[in-house]
Amino acid sequence: MKNIFLLLALASCSFSAKAQTTGVYQHPNGNFESWETDNEPGNHWTSFKSADGDKASLANGPAAGYVYKNTTKVTGYGGTGSAVKIKSKQSWGKNANGNLTTGRISMGSTTPESSNNYNRSVTGNDKFSLLFAGKPDRVEFDAIFKSGGSNAGRGNFILHGDVDYKDPEVTEQASYKYGQAKVYVQDTDSKWIHVGGDFTYTAGMTRPNKVYLLASFTTNETPGGSPKDEFTIDNVKFIYYNDLKTLTYGTGSDAQDLLAKAGKAVNNVVSIDASDLFYEKSKVAFKEKGQGANITEEKYDPATCILTIKVEANDISVNTKNYTIYKVQFKKPITISDDQDVSTTEDDNAKVIMTRTFKKGWNTICLPFSTTAEALGAAKVQELTDCTNDLINFKSVEGGNMEWNTPYLIYFNEEKAFTSKNPFIFAGKVAASNQSTGVTFSPITMRGNYKAKFYMKGYYGVVDQNGVQRIMSGGEGATLGPCRAYFQTSKAGANGMLISFDGQTTGITAAELNAEGAAEDAPIYNLQGVRVNHLTKGVYIKGGKKIIVK
């Protein structure tokens, strides 16, 4: 019968370079619409009418009761088109099973069980052999079977190398068998049913340069079986899987089955919601289901956090729509870069990818997650503790620990560049980013910033002047990147205020500064690092310590 699914019956086609062979992916007359006579379909289906062997003449004459006529053309599945019916028939006092094959029937004996009776591919004759390009996963067909005993009808599909392979099989040809599927059909109570069977392939066998299909239908697997068996067949189709057998995330007992989260395919695309997981290539594992299928694409897009996997079936060269694309949506990480705002909500299971270059020396920092100076590769980190007169005082943070949404000054011995290829990655709990985050010691407030290109006019940033750290007001067009910090103050003359680290200002060399307990005549410096001889009201440094003159 005519079937829209049987579109792949090409008489000959080129296969990929990997196989180096030609042939078909579907039987060219799998729907039995083509018939040479009403007793033989032809087009790579033959019956007793085309048999050879010592007793072949008995199949075609009155003495044998015209055995070839046990193959007949009948109405196909669904009441349209045509199908083939094979039936057992008594001849020479014995039952001749119904028999249909892609090869040629050999009648060497009137004894049904004789080894001289078999079907075979005649590889030197195109009429009695069928070159096959595909590596199918399954064969299916529609059938009606009426049993004259307790037997079943059988379809046997053998893929073999370049030899005149036989059915029933013989031991000496075993090394030529590439794959096989068998389908048994019990009595169907005169109703059409759809049946099928999977192909198994010889383990470790390389595909032969030439592969032939020897397909045989019989009313009984046992030669000379039950009388009055009838087996009607239509729409023989080979199935090539185009999907994944497994798709998991994680390892060992923690591995999750992502296929369990798959939706229905829409236009060959299957969507999978894995938005509770962060993509890590080493944790994703998958395998195609089809024996000859191929993964032709595996691509992760960090912008959308979508993993794309494309599976093409073995017959893709002639059936261009036989593929499946899987799109796995992973959880989007929080990205921190200089060109975008940072916006986070509280999340116990977050992933942050940060790109930023920290200059050698002091930098400001404020992050929506807790981390350490060591994790960032920094030498030290300090927090604001108070503000006295013209000094903004910082002290070392114990253990280098930095809390989220808290501004700090962080020191790097050398420039540290986190790039897109080598970013800083954090996994864990994040806090909601809060633009009002700040630490205040009147009249100074140090505040974290999560905006890209934060306009700095009217605010203060940290500037290094010959090793001296000061706060300086932002000029026209000055901006600050995200995850940094700035200062606010209403204090007049705040521009140029010095920053003190653990009670010491920078900019005065260690050789010039005396240790604690210095002599009374130790030199004295103002906050600009200039040595002074006369003290007036203000803040000074003597012996490495701060002194205040009121």
> Is the confidence at residue 274, as pLDDT, over 70?
yes
Sign of CA dihedral 204, 210, 214, 215: positive
State how far the Cα of 106 lies from the Cα of 113, in Å rounded to an integer.
Answer: 13
Of 8, 22, 169, the C-alpha closest to 103 is 169
- Under DSSP, the state recorded for 373 is H
- For 112-144, how does the pLDDT look when each residue is reduced to its tens digit (9 = 90+)? 889 999 999 999 999 999 999 999 999 999 999
- CA 510 from chain centre, in angstroms, equals 59
Residues 6+ apart with CB under 8 A from 279: 300, 305, 307, 330, 331
Q: What is the mean pLDDT of the chain?
A: 89
Position 326 scores a pLDDT of: 98
How many whole angstroms separate alpha carbon 343 and alpha carbon 333?
11
- Rounded to whole angstroms, the Cα distance separating 192 from 67 reads 26
pLDDT at 21 over 60: no
pLDDT tens per residue, range 77-115: 999 999 999 999 887 678 889 999 999 999 999 888 899
Q: Which pLDDT score, from 0 to 100, does residue 150 have?
A: 80
Is the pLDDT assigned to residue 16 strictly greater than 70?
no
The answer to whether the Cα torsion of 209, 8, 37, 55 is positive or negative is positive
> Above 80 in pLDDT, residue 30?
yes
At residue 42, the pLDDT reads 95
Confidence of residue 458 (pLDDT cuts 50, 70, 90): very high
Please determine, for residue 185, whether its predicted confidence score (pLDDT) is greater than 80. yes
pTM score of the predicted model = 0.77
Arithmetic mean of pLDDT, 542-549: 67
Residue 436 has pLDDT above 90, yes or no: no
Burial of 40 (0-12, 13-18, 19+ CB in 10 A): buried
Q: What is the mean pLDDT of residues 12-39?
A: 75
